[in-house]
Amino acid sequence: MGTSIRKWRRRDFLRTGVQAVAGSVIGLKVSTPVLGAPAIITNSFTPVAISSRNGMAATAKAIEIVENGGDCLDAAVAGVKIQEDDPEDTSVGYGGLPNERGVVQLDASVMHGETHRAGAVGALENIRYPSEVAKLVMERTNRVLLVGKGALEFARMYGFKEENLLTERARELWQYWIENRSKFDDYMTPKEDIENIPPQLRHYIENGGTINLNVLDTHGNLGGCTTTSGLSFKIPGRVGDSPIIGAGLYVDNEFGAAGSTGRGEANLQTCASFLVVEEMGRGKSPTDACIEVCRRVVERSKVEYLWRNDIPAFNVNFYAINTKGDFGCASILSGTEFTVNDGNGSRYVDAAYLYERK
Look at the chain and count its residues. 358
Distance of CA 98 to the CA centre of its chain: 20
Higher-pLDDT residue of 221 and 38 is 221
Contacts of 242 (CB under 8 A, 6+ apart): 107, 108, 109, 210, 226, 227, 228, 230, 248, 249, 264
Neighbours of 324 (CB within 10 A): 17
What are the angstrom distances between the C-alpha of 301 and each of 101, 168, 306, 310, 315?
Answer: 28, 36, 7, 13, 11
pLDDT, one tens digit per residue, over 285-304 is 999 999 999 999 999 988 87
Active-site residue among 210, 323, 336, 339? 210
pLDDT at 29: 35
Q: Is the separation of the CB atoms in 93 and 128 below 8 Å?
A: yes
pLDDT, one tens digit per residue, over 234-257 is 999 999 999 999 999 999 999 999
Tell me the pLDDT of the chain averaged across its residues. 86
210 as an active site residue: the answer is yes
pLDDT at 284: 98
How far apart are the C-alpha atoms of 299 and 287, rounded to whole Å?
19
pLDDT, one tens digit per residue, over 316-337 is 999 999 999 999 999 999 999 9
Q: Helical H runs in the chain?
A: 10-20, 56-67, 72-84, 130-140, 148-157, 168-180, 199-207, 264-268, 272-281, 286-299
Fold of 48-355: Glutamine Phosphoribosylpyrophosphate, subunit 1, domain 1 (3.60.20)
Task: Report the pLDDT averaged over residues 102-128.
Answer: 98
Domain range list for the chain: 10-43, 48-355
Residue 317's closest CA among 268, 261, 270, 266? 261
